[in-house]
Amino acid sequence: MAGAGAGMSVIRVGHLYPEYLNIYADRGNIAVFARRAAWRGHELEVRAISLDDPIVPGAHDLYYIGGGQDREQLLVAANLAAKAEPLVEAVIGGGAALLAVCGGYQLLGRGYRGFHGEHMPGVGLLPLETVAGTRRMIGDVLLDCELEPGERRTLAGFENHAGRTKLDPNAVPLGRVVAGFGNDGESGYEGCRIGRAVGTYLHGPLLPRNPWLADWLLAQALAHRSGGEPPELAALPDELETRAHEVSTARAHARGGRS
């Protein structure tokens, strides 16, 4: 049935290393993509891209990479770096959407130096570098974002990272930190985005209580699928999502991390 009606599509998701990078409820993010796509009549087809699988530009409309501990990150870092070229081509050249959370976010930069000094090569897709610090940045966090000009939205989540991420001078952050630490605890910015790719430290998981970002990414993925503009997705009754967002926002204001 899927794909039969007008405007219905199969959204092809490439989930990178799901068996290694899954520490902060990453499957919650995938579930949100799947349900919110289905409620609009689209089908989400999620395929794992693991150690032995190639990345084939054009084969996926949306990539997802989640978080892991340093140990798991170390296990996949070299493998991912070896696939940098097709991944950059798929996302930057080909316009596929991408969401990278926490550890995955770090690995999409140029590199990550872990807590024990071990160096992990990065993909170089996001213009940033990360070095592990001694004090972990842990707590509720709130961001002010403007992904589309004039449309300001907030993202509420939880962060837990030792890595300090430094954006290149011309890089575009995902948002401004309203409460919490953000990329490095001092720049006042969190995350990074380029084209249809978004990287962030926010988990919690991120998408259930911030469904607007899930919809934005789904629309980008549909644009990749169709080769046209991102479609306007039908509004959904997001009462529970709004309540969860409000509680999380209040938490960030009350007890978000301070540098």
Partner 1 sequence: MTVPGKLISRLDPAAIDRLAARLAAGVAVISATNGKTTTSAIAAEILRPRFRLAHNHSGANLVSGIASTLLAADGAELGLLEVDEGALPEVLRRVRPRAVCLGNLFRDQLDRYGELELVAERWRQAVAELPAGTTLVLNGDEPQVGSLGAGIVYGLDDPSVARPALQHAADSKYCIRCGSPYLYAAAYVGHLGDYRCPSCGHARPALDVAARSIELHGLESVAFDLVTPAGTQRVELGLPGLYNVYNALGAAALAQALGASLDEIAAGLARFSAAFGRFERIPVRGKQLLLLLIKNPAGANEVVRTLVDGGPPAVAVLALNDAIADGRDVSWIWDVDFEPLLERLETVVVSGARAAELALRCKYAGFDESRIVVEPSLGHAVDRGLALTPAGAELVVLPTYTAMLALQRLVAGRGLAKPYWERAA
Per annotation, catalytic residue among 102, 145, 224, 245 = 102
CB of 241 to partner 1, least distance (A): 6
Q: Given the rule CB under 8 A, which residues bind partner 1? A: 19-20, 22-25, 27-28, 31-32, 35, 69-72, 74-75, 136, 138-140, 158, 160, 162, 203-205, 208-209, 240-241, 243-244, 246-248, 251, 255
| Min separation Cβ 75 and partner 1, Å | 5
Closest CA to 124 of 134, 114, 111: 111
The residue (of 71 and 148) whose beta carbon lies closer to partner 1 is: 71
Min separation Cβ 130 and partner 1, Å: 15
Q: Are 36 and 236 in contact (CB under 8 A)?
A: yes
Sorted by sequence, the CB contacts under 8 Å of residue 216 that are 6+ apart come out as 147, 148, 230
Closest C-alpha among 206, 194, 221, 231 to residue 154: 206
**Quick one: 90 or 181, whose CB is closer to partner 1?**
181
- Amino acid letter for position 148: E
Cβ closest to partner 1, residue 96 vs residue 106: 106
Instruction: Clarify whether 145 is annotated catalytic.
Output: no
Catalytic annotation, pick one of 15, 42, 161, 203: 203
Contact 87, 97 (CB under 8 A): no
Q: Are 156 and 205 in contact (CB under 8 A)?
A: no
Kindly tell me which of 31 and 84 has the beta carbon lying closer to partner 1. Answer: 31
Nearer to partner 1 by C-beta: 68 or 191?
68
CA distance 43 to 155: 26
259, 185 contact by CB (below 8 A): yes
Report, in Å, the least distance between residue 159 CB and partner 1: 9
Q: Which of 55, 41, 34, 30 is nearest to 6 (CA)?
A: 41
- 142 in Cβ contact with 253 (< 8 Å): yes
Q: Which residues are catalytic?
A: 102, 203
